[in-house]
Structure 1
Amino acid sequence: MSAEREDGASAALFAPPVKRSVTIAGHQTAISLEPIFWEALRAAAVREGLPVNALIARIDVARMAADDPPNLASAIRCWLFRDNMRP
């Protein structure tokens, strides 16, 4: 259980990044994301009916189509933010 701070935020909200290995297009890659983003990614994968690796691969394809592609961790965070902004 995480400690509640005076401002109401959970200490877990500000946990440091966790590095995980994922397979994208047959290649292993490591991604560092804060735990809250890993949780959001798992929830989004469930909503999309995909394994987490498949959702990451989909985000990666969209990222690479950008004029100036960000790193994969940034692309995942941006995708999750936009996904959670949908009505």
Structure 2
Amino acid sequence: MRIDPPRVGFHGPVKRSITIAGHQTSISLEPVFWASLEFAARAHALPLSALVAQIDALRIAAADPPNLGSALRTWLLTQGKNYSH
């Protein structure tokens, strides 16, 4: 069986600055993950920074916390919802 490339193409990470809990941090994610996070924030009626802050708090509480980018990707892929557009 043949697979197809993503309809949006393949793209490397894009670094963006975001304020979490009053401090600025840079996060590198592929554009498809940024779009999915923005969609998820709208679905939860939250600003993007508030959604990222909530995911960050969950990440920090984990036994062996990953970096924030990994936590965001994992959260998006494990929600059971399609946060793509």
TM-score where L is the length of structure 1: 0.85
Q: CA deviation at 1:86?
A: 4.4
Q: Does 1:70 align with 2:43?
A: no
What's the counterpart of residue 34 of structure 1? 30
Structure 1: where are the runs of 5+ without partners? Answer: 1-5
Q: Partners of 1:13 and 1:63 in 2: how far apart?
A: 29
Q: CA deviation at 1:66?
A: 0.3
Could you tell me which of 58, 76, 80 is aligned with 1:80?
76
RCO comparison, higher one (Cα < 8 Å, 6+): 2
Q: For residue 34 of structure 2, what is the amino acid of its counterpart?
A: W
Q: CA deviation at 1:13?
A: 3.6
The 3 A distance-change label for structure 1 pair 44 and 20 is same
Q: For residue 81 of structure 1, what is the amino acid of its counterpart?
A: L
User: Could you say what the CA RMSD is over the residues aligned between the two structures, in angstroms?
Assistant: 1.9
Q: CA deviation at 1:44?
A: 0.3
TM-score where L is the length of structure 2: 0.87
Could you tell me which of 47, 54, 57 is aligned with 1:58?
54
What's the counterpart of residue 49 of structure 1? 45
Q: For residue 36 of structure 1, what is the amino acid of its counterpart?
A: V
Q: For residue 68 of structure 1, what is the amino acid of its counterpart?
A: D
- Kindly, what percent of the aligned residue pairs are identical? 53
Contact preservation (8 Å) 1:13, 1:36 = no
